[in-house]
Amino acid sequence: MAAAAATAAAKGNGGGGGRAGAGDASGTRKKKGPGPLATAYLVIYNVVMTAGWLVIAVGLVRAYLAKGSYHSLYYSIEKPLKFFQTGALLEVGIVPSSVVLTSFQVMSRVFLIWAVTHSVKEVQTEDSVLLFVIAWTITEIIRYSFYTFSLLNHLPYLIKWARYTLFIVLYPMGVSGELLTIYAALPFVRQAGLYSISLPNKYNFSFDYYAFLILIMISYIPLFPQLYFHMIHQRRKVLSHTEEHKKFE
C-alpha cells in the first residue's frame, strides 16, 4: 500500500515510484558507493526483478488477448506476482535508505498481496485488483531498470524521465486499486471473522481485522497527498537539474 509509507518517504526517500530500491542513490547523504561484489549483486538483483515484472506484464497481455476481456486477469499472473513482490523483501538491508523505511514500504505491498488479495478469494475477480497490478507492474519495470542502468553508470534519459514522470498517473491509479480492493474485502472479512480474535481467550487479547482494514483505508487520506506532492517536488528537482546539465555540455 503505497500511501502507507508517505511520512517516512517524505523525510528521506528520493521519490519517483514511492519507495526505495536496490541501488537507489536518492538519499540526502551518500557515503561510499557499494564495492565491486556488492555492485554485481545489486545489478543481478535488479535485472532479475526487471525480468520478473516483464514476465508479469507479458502474462497480462497474453491473457487479455486469449480471453478478449480484462476481467479476472489476476489468475494469469498470480504466482509470479506473489513471487516477485514478496522477493522485494531481499531489498531490506541492502539499499542505502533506512532499513525501517524500506521494511515498512515493502511489507505494505506484501500485506496487500497476501493478507487481503490472497486471503479473501472473493476479491480476486475485482477489477480494482487489475488496477493496482497494472500500476505496480509498469512502475516496477521502470524502477528496476532505473536502478540497473544507474549502477552501470549508463542511465538513458528516457528511463529517468519515465521514473520521475509516469508516477503522476500510476500512483493515483495504484492507490485507487488498493483502496477499492480493501473496500471490496470488508464484507467478506466481517462475515468470516478473518484474522480476528475475540474475547474471552487465554491471552486476554482481542483484535478486529475488519476495523484494522478500515483504519488502513483512513490512513490514506492524510498520507497520499503528502507523498504525492513530495514526488512532484523530486521530479522538478531531478529533471530540472538534468536539463541544466545538458545546457553546459
pLDDT score at 227? 85
Q: What backbone phi and psi angles, to 5 degrees, belong to 207? A: -150, 130
What pLDDT, on a 0 to 100 scale, did the predictor assign at position 118? 98
The single residue of 45, 91, 178, 220 carrying the catalytic annotation is 178
- pLDDT, tens digit, 9 for 90 and up, residues 157-183: 999 999 999 999 999 999 999 999 999
Tell me, yes or no, if 210 is annotated catalytic: no
The CA distance from 169 to 209, in Å, is 31
Compute the distance between CA of residue 248 and CA of residue 64 in angstroms, rounded to an integer. Answer: 47
Q: For residue 189, which amino acid is it?
A: V
Residue 77's pLDDT is what? 97
pLDDT tens for 182-194 read 999 999 999 999 9
**Secondary structure of residue 197 in the 3-state scheme:** strand
Q: What is the pLDDT of residue 105?
A: 76
Q: Report the distance separating Cα 32 and Cα 20, nearest Å.
A: 18
120 confidence band (pLDDT: 50, 70, 90) = very high
> Whole-model pTM?
0.85
* Of residues 113 and 96, more confidently modeled: 113
In the chain, the percentage of residues whose pLDDT exceeds 90 is 67
Chain position carrying cell 504466482: 79
Q: Which of 74, 144, 147, 171 is catalytic?
A: 171
The predicted pLDDT at position 243 comes to: 57
User: What integer pLDDT is reported at residue 13 of this predicted model?
Assistant: 41
List helix spans (H) across 152-208. 157-163, 167-192
Q: pLDDT at residue 202 above 70?
A: yes
Q: Which cell numbers hold the place of 216?
A: 488502513
CA-wise closest residue to 91 among 144, 18, 167, 31: 144
Q: Mind listing the pLDDT tens digit for each residue in 208-218?
A: 999 999 999 99
Confidence at residue 26, expressed as pLDDT on a 0 to 100 scale? 44
Identify the residue with better confidence: 128 or 202.
128
Q: Is 116 helix (H, G, I), strand (E, B) or coil?
A: helix
pLDDT of residue 245: 56
- Kindly give the interhelix angle for 167-192 and 127-151, rounded to the nearest 10 degrees: 130
171 an active-site residue?
A: yes
pLDDT of 92: 80
Over residues 52-70, mean pLDDT: 96
What residue spans of 13-73 are helical by DSSP H? Answer: 36-67
Residue 23's pLDDT band, with cuts at 50, 70 and 90, is: low
Residue 125's contacts (CB-CB under 8 Å, 6 or more residues apart) are 71, 72, 74
Work out the average pLDDT over 124-138.
97
